[in-house]
Structure 1
Amino acid sequence: MKSGVIVLLSVCLAGWLGLAHADNNAAPAATAQAAAVKRGTLYRVRHLGNTTYLFGTIHVGKPAFFPLEDEVTRALARAKKLVLEIDIRKPEPFQLALHKHGTYPVADAVDRHLSPDTLAQLRTALDDAGIPYEDVRHLKPWLLANMLVGLGLERSGYLRSHGIEVFLLSLADKQAKDVHELESAEYQMSLFDSMPDAMQEQYLRENLAELGDGNALKKAESLIDAWANANGDAVEAFMRDSLLEKTTSGDFMQRVLLDKRNPEMASKIEDLLREDETAFVGVGLLHMVGETGVPTLLRQRGYEVEKLY
């Protein structure tokens, strides 16, 4: 299955750890010995003389990923504005959305929504992660799953504070660029909260299983490596494999997090192309690939879409 680890790498969820939001403002520093190699994928979209750059990101990283390749930083320098899925520097919208969509009322708790077997698996995973159950009993299953896989990534050295958006935001600040959002924390979290109880429980069970057997990290590292080496073939193969899997997590990622949002993102990028200002748009890597990816949708709508690498 394509677990919540892949969701967190490919879809920008504000504060996905739930309990650790404070590191968002720590911009990654480029190490002196780091080579500026091609990472991710970069497109140039044109319409009636206007240009938008479209860059595929992941939302965690390591210091060795920076600086980004010169073609990316030059494209951002040319842009008047930086546009991301959400502005991860804003904690207040995240906290409001978290409370609304990710937590139960005081009189309710997750044990009332899980089978005894799933609850036992959750308690074991929380113990392994060093998290007291009482501290998180009011969190919904989808948020608990994302929190645990996020912690797994951090233990493996993939930090949200070194995510690509953080680096792009640091450059935008230095260049005094406007920053805009394609979506909001409210919208992103509402998608997860749209899952009924039974689906949330299965989402949690699948992710706990992949955390337990180590497959979650293996798949995460595979996708991160494909991004870090600009290996589009590997990303496309990953997506093809994902479509063959019949799991709650994989279906939710494809049907809701990608197929629903990609046309919405494409429409908002169309709006940017009608403005007489160059924009640089960074979105999760998996929004960029396949027949329903944002570049393909824009090409189908009549825009000039050029893959720079």
Structure 2
Amino acid sequence: MPSARAAIQFVAICTLGWLFSGAVASAADGTAGACPPAAQPLNEPLFQAAAAQAQDRGLLWRISKGGHSSYLYGTLHVGRAAWMAPGPLLRDALQATDTLALELDPLNPDMQREMAAGLAQMKLRPLTAALRARLLRQLQAQCLPTQDVDKVPAEMQLITLSALVGRRDGLDPTYGSEVLLSVVARSMARTVVSLETVQEQMHALLARNAAEANTVVREGLDDLETDRLRQMLLRTVDVWDTADFDVLSRYNEWCQCADTPSEKEQMRRLLDDRNPGLAQRVDALHTSGKKLLVAVGSLHMAGPQGLPALLATRGYLVERLR
């Protein structure tokens, strides 16, 4: 059975809207021929090639209230280079709005500085020697720097590894939905805002004590070492790519991340506890007159505590577009 840590790893793939600290590939700590392929830098030829084959992916809703409309878009934190252009429906939503609202804007330098400062101030939970050695091996296997292994919370390093596990399959955070939308919105002179703070997201992610941190890291490494996490990633990407909202809404039946009481508690903390605040901030921005494209992790859209349902209770007309 997958670990309790699978809950956070699954949400890292589907939900988190920021670029992970230290997630820059480097061959310095790995064997050159064994390193995952590095992401192609974002450049004009890449975007032009993607635009030539652009199609809609992910989940899209229109929400209307007070005489104007905004949009909800369910994102995926990883993607392929060929996906770095919005499809027709998403492009129309961008054209119809004036503000992009993300969980956290990955291209905002203030957010990046805040993340670095927050990690530097975090209380580290010591790992056992055996777990530290396993974590080092995984960092080396992904050709990631290891010099900060004792300076950054281990659970954050595990999340970084989780986000990068698909690179050999062509899936990379560099091509994630939030990066694409932040780049495109800026090119269209749109305002980009963050719905959460770095502190709020880190509070949801970090272990509460040393025992929890060691359990989280041990079970997460189990998932990485046995390839379970990679298989879950590939299934999730397929569900998101085809906009199969029914299957996504039943994620607890197949993600193997909400089977035990501890896993369910993690999912509650990462999703249900955050969604009311997200809905309140979206409502405040929309009510102020802004026309929003709200792009947050796809799991924030699912179920009776998902954003479409919560905004419907606030008086919005909610229409599924994809």
Q: TM-score range by the shorter chain?
A: 0.7 to 0.9
Letter in 1 for 2:109: P
SS at match of 2:47: coil
In structure 1, what is the equivalent of residue 259 of structure 2?
245
Contact 1:288–1:294 (CA<8 Å) still a contact in 2? Answer: yes
Match of 1:270 in 2: 283
Structure 2 residue 167 is the aligned partner of structure 1 residue 154:
yes
What do the CA deviations read for 1:47-88 (whole angstroms, capped 9, x no partner)?
121211000011211022243321111011110111111111
Q: Displacement of 1:193 after TM fit?
A: 3.1
For residues 148 and 39 of structure 1, the distance between their equivalents in structure 2, rounded to whole angstroms, comes to: 25
Question: Partner of 2:321 in structure 1?
Answer: 308
Kept in 2, the 8 Å contact 1:102–1:193? The answer is no
- 1:121-146 Cα distance to aligned partner (Å, 9 max, x none): 32433343345654322221211211
Deviates more, 1:143-152 or 1:39-48: 143-152
Q: Percent identity?
A: 27
AA of the residue aligned to 1:26? L
Give the structure 1 partner of residue 274 of structure 2: 261
RMSD: 2.8
Aligned residue number for residue 211 of structure 2: 198
For these two proteins, the number of residue pairs brought into alignment is 303
TM-aligned CA distance change 1:270 to 1:240, over 3 Å = farther
> Structure 2: which 5+ runs fail to align?
27-38
- 2:179 alignment counterpart: 166
Paired residue type of 1:266: A
Instruction: Tell me the amino acid that sits aligned with residue 265 of structure 2.
Output: D
Whether 1:15 aligns to 2:19 is yes
Q: Distance in 2 between matches of 1:88 and 1:69?
A: 21
**Distance in structure 2 (CA, Å) of the matches to 1:91 and 1:230:** 32
Alignment pair present for 1:79 and 2:92: no
Unpaired stretches in structure 1, ≥5 consecutive residues = none
The worse-fitting range, judged by mean Cα deviation, of 30-39 and 132-141 is 30-39
After superposition, the Cα gap between the structure-2 partners of 1:116 and 1:42, relative to the gap in structure 1 and judged at 3 Å, is same
Q: Shift in Å at residue 203 of structure 1?
A: 1.5
Q: Quick one: structure 1 residues 80 and 211, their matched pair in 2 at CA, closer, same or farther if it must change by over 3 Å?
A: same
Greater shift after overlay, 124-133 or 64-73?
124-133
> What is the aligned counterpart of 2:87 among 63, 69, 89?
69
The Cα shift of 1:250 comes to 5.6
Which has the higher mean CA deviation after the structures are superposed, 19-28 or 88-97? Answer: 19-28
Provide the secondary structure at the position in 2 that maps to 1:61: coil
Q: When the two structures are superposed, what TM-score results if normalisation uses the length of structure 2?
A: 0.83
**1:8-65 deviation per Cα after TM superposition (whole angstroms, max 9, x unaligned):** 2222252314352998993662526854433111111111212110000112110222
Q: Which moved more, 1:145-154 or 1:93-102?
A: 93-102
Partners of 1:135 and 1:244 in 2: CA distance: 31
